[in-house]
Structure 1
Amino acid sequence: MTITIKDATGIAGMRVAGRLAAELLDYLAPFVKPGVTTNELDRLADDYTTQVQGAISAPLNYAPGGHNPYPKSICTSINHQVCHGIPNDKPLKKGDIVNVDVTVIKDAWHGDSSRMYMVGEASVAAKRLCKLTYDAMWMGIMKVKAGAYLGDIGHAIQVFAEGQGLSVVREFCGHGIGANFHEDPQVLHYGRPGTLDQLKAGMTITIEPMLNLGRREIKEMGDGWTIVTKDRTLSAQWEHTVLVTPTGYEVLTLSEHSPPIPAFVTPSA
């Protein structure tokens, strides 16, 4: 396993890419409403990324081993879709929840973030799931500092999520990120404290828990990308790109209109 440590130049580049990812999600927010198709969101995202930000979409044509190239610029995962949903021409309807996952490449650096959006008025259960998944991500983020362990992050997320009656998807995880879309290490959203790799200042990772209302089991659809809950219960995900600092963390994918940080979050030292 090779974990990259970013120097000052790399950290500066990651800050820019992370901010652009957050600003792209800000831009898309007003368009997520009943009647809009996810293909339209994809077109808007691609235009904004290339024409306004002067950047590139990392998901477009991304083809890790064994996969066909991903055909769109963003991932849009709706209701029981866990991740990697492919935009299409089906209109969003009132009550849907949708995760929009974006990764922007700017000057070779990657900024990766996702948010949950509610289409019109969502159910009480859907609202609760989205809020608790957001809180779970921050529970993990708060464990980040040089000298901590990846297992500390996963444990914090798992204990919180399962304590709320939610299940943690285990087949997909966060990851290192930098000049490459996916780098070492893998960042699991479950585990035991004090285990796995030790965090070092200059590492950049994503923390992106996927939590289900029902059981944690998932399956892949025939398109080779879209992942859904086996029991078709709702799933939610949030994602930030995070820099490990000597004394804590810096969230790189924040912007002026990012959702408020939960009140329980203690500022990084």
Structure 2
Amino acid sequence: MNNRITFGSLIAHFLMIGLALSWLYPYVWMFMASLKPSSEVYTTSLFGGNLSLDNYAFLFDTSDRADRPFLRTMFNSLFVSLTITASVVITSMYIAFSLAKLKFKGQEAFRGFLIFQMVFPAFMFILPQYVLIKELGMIDTYGAMILPFVMSGWGIFMMSQSFKGTPNDYIFAAKLDRANLWQVITQIMMPLNKSIIAIVALFTFTGAWDNFLWPLIVMQDAEKMPLSVLLASFSKSYGVYIGPVMAGSVIQTMPLLMLFILFRKHFLQGMSLSLK
């Protein structure tokens, strides 16, 4: 019986390793393509060809001369993504605390509406959001990319489910020490629920960083574009230069990869808790 379990475990591990390699292969191919001349991307083996950083130099140099400031758009994406992430984390913590630990009229109706609105796909709200942003005179501004995403129903739901499991004794003890609401949330709820907060922050940052459709609609000024929109316009104008396009794609994915590596422990803990 033990031999059968061991054999089955080996098969499962080999299967998972194979699936992991198949998932990683496109990224490895993209990274290696970014180091090759465009003429060698499709004509050489995965690790063959003349490898250099010329595509990255070409990307920065050509984008600036073509009125597509690459560095500026990177900072734009970073600013917008960090602002949205901070807003979502803060608003989600306060609202989730109210849903999990306080009693108020209409609480169940609000919770039901929260779950109900999560069912609808995001693209259904693009038109009314655009009309609202236009009426506010915010087209082609940073606020247009930030305002529609300062709150997240999914973030509120995830945090409220986690906050429910926090013993009320901690909150009562903090109130006896005259702690205010901000102190209760930042000094009690955050440390005890850091895994769920981390996963909400990571997913929010990833969504904001990779967001393409909404910034494409509301942004026209190249100086204020996020990196995703700039790469799309660069790819359209210089599609023949597949190497630099791959270099830009690698740069766009690097922050997400670094975040996952740095916070993978909290990410995995948060995923395990969310599945319970």
Tell me, yes or no, whether TM beats 0.5: no
Higher helix share: 2
- Structure 1 or 2: larger strand share? 1
TM-score tier by shorter-chain length is under 0.3
Give the TM-score normalised by the residue count of structure 2: 0.25
Higher relative contact order, chain-length normalized (CA < 8 Å, sep 6+): 2
The structure number with the bigger radius of gyration is 2
Q: TM-score, normalised by structure 1?
A: 0.26
